[in-house]
Amino acid sequence: MKFFLFHLMPYANLDLNYTAKYDTAWVTLPNSYFDPARGHELYNRYLDELELGDQLGFDGVGVNEHHQTAYGLMATPGVIAGALSRRIKGKIAVLGRALPLLNNPLQVAEEFAILDGITGGRLIAGFVRGIGAEYYVYGTSPAQSHARFLEAHDLIVRAWTQTGPFHFEGEHYDFQYVNTWPRPYQKPHPPIWIPSQGSRETIVWAAKKKYTYLQTYSPVAAVKRFLDMYKEEAQKNGYTASPDQLGWMAPIYVAETDERAYAEAKPHIEAFIGKFLRMPSQLSRPPGYLSAASAQAVMSAKAGHSIERTIDELLEEGSFICGSVETVARKILETQQMIGYGNQLCLMQFGTLPADLTRKNLELFGTRVMPMLHERIAA
């Protein structure tokens, strides 16, 4: 099993009383809530945390893209990946760029090729459709999301692998001269990972392409359902999915005892779910964004979820892993053995979790949980 330190870089200084006036921290929350001086401190703190994860032995670090939200401050994740590229030794996973939002996907082909060159082939290229809220920010039709994603993907992969210049003509993108400089370091191109909330179309397509599929934080039952779907689609395409092709991202908190972990994590994981993730359905799933089948699957996976979920509910469903070193290691091992995935993406800072607790969380997980899991999985 491989472990990746995933970071959202939230605006941890968010005034949580915003809910008295606004119903979400996405898109419409006034940017007067953002203090640039605090933002400066947070960016550098978060870069330090990612570098610490590399020093502690994580196989890689992961960053991602969100827009106009306190939930994550990485509007251009390539900037963050670039800042990390000369300092860390492990993989850098950009999970990912929201392809349908772009008018020119060749920007991603160039950006990722640069990162791959700087790191000498340590880039993992993550492609996503972007969650529904992003489409309000960019003014892009969510009904075109899937088609634009597929076409942008094809353009980027051809730009990486086909000698240019050549003409690319599609329904959404038309470029007379495709001739990407530089070319990526890895051949034929960086590995492609596909994170998703459980869109059936995305899972079917990722399995056909043999790309690594990542289920974002969800109850364990939903993670199993969606990763099993990938395995079934792999069989239909004539191969058996390997653990390396499957991953799960979950928030994790480790402390000296179960009781202490629970007490320290409680206010921050509840703020993460109830404040930072808070979003009306019209933002998260705008009309046309999901097919009927995918909408039903995603809604079923989240059935019964209230906006203000408690830590007890999160622990019961398994979407949050929290406890002592032994407890956290046991829960991850049990889930990994039940589902058979090979990539654990660890969200070690969430919401308002402060720097001292984040550092302790990272150090306990890196120095004690990971070695324990490596030993038990090898056995």
Cα–Cα distance, 194 to 205 (Å, whole number): 10
Q: Does residue 182 carry a pLDDT above 60?
A: yes
pLDDT band at 300 (very low <50, low <70, confident <90, very high): low
- Are 200 and 229 contacting, i.e. CB atoms less than 8 angstroms apart? yes
Beta bridge partners of 347: 6, 251
Contacts of 92 (CB under 8 A, 6+ apart): 60, 61, 62, 63, 81, 84, 85, 115, 119, 122, 123, 124
pLDDT (mean) for 297-316: 71
Whether the CA torsion 82, 88, 93, 95 is positive or negative: it is: negative
pLDDT (mean) for 240-245: 98
Tens digit of pLDDT for each residue in 194-219? 999 998 999 999 999 999 999 998 99
Q: What pLDDT, on the 0 to 100 scale, is given for residue 377?
A: 86
Cα angle 296-297-299, degrees, rounded to a multiple of 5: 65
Cα–Cα distance, 77 to 126 (Å, whole number): 11
Q: What pLDDT, on the 0 to 100 scale, is given for residue 303?
A: 45
Residue for token pair 């720097």: 355
94 phi and psi angles, rounded to 5 deg: -90, 100
Cα angle 86-92-93, degrees, rounded to a multiple of 5: 155
Helices 106-119/145-161 angle, 10° precision: 50
Q: What pLDDT, on the 0 to 100 scale, is given for residue 297?
A: 58
Residue 151 parent element (H or E)? helix 145-161
Give percent above pLDDT 90 in the chain: 89
Q: Does residue 274 carry a pLDDT above 80?
A: yes
Q: What pLDDT, on the 0 to 100 scale, is given for residue 301?
A: 53
Q: Does residue 235 carry a pLDDT above 50?
A: yes
Domains and CATH numbers, the chain: 2-378 (3.20.20.30)
Cα–Cα distance, 140 to 71 (Å, whole number): 21
289 phi and psi angles, rounded to 5 deg: -70, -40
Q: How many CB atoms lie within 10 A of CB 41?
A: 14
User: Side chain identity at 49, as an amino acid letter?
Assistant: E
Q: What pLDDT, on the 0 to 100 scale, is given for residue 204?
A: 96
| H helical segments located in 13-105 | 36-55, 77-85
pLDDT band at 376 (very low <50, low <70, confident <90, very high): confident
Q: What pLDDT, on the 0 to 100 scale, is given for residue 307?
A: 64
Q: What pLDDT, on the 0 to 100 scale, is given for residue 104?
A: 96
Q: How many CB atoms lie within 10 A of CB 86?
A: 8
Tens digit of pLDDT for each residue in 142-173? 999 999 999 999 999 999 999 999 999 999 99
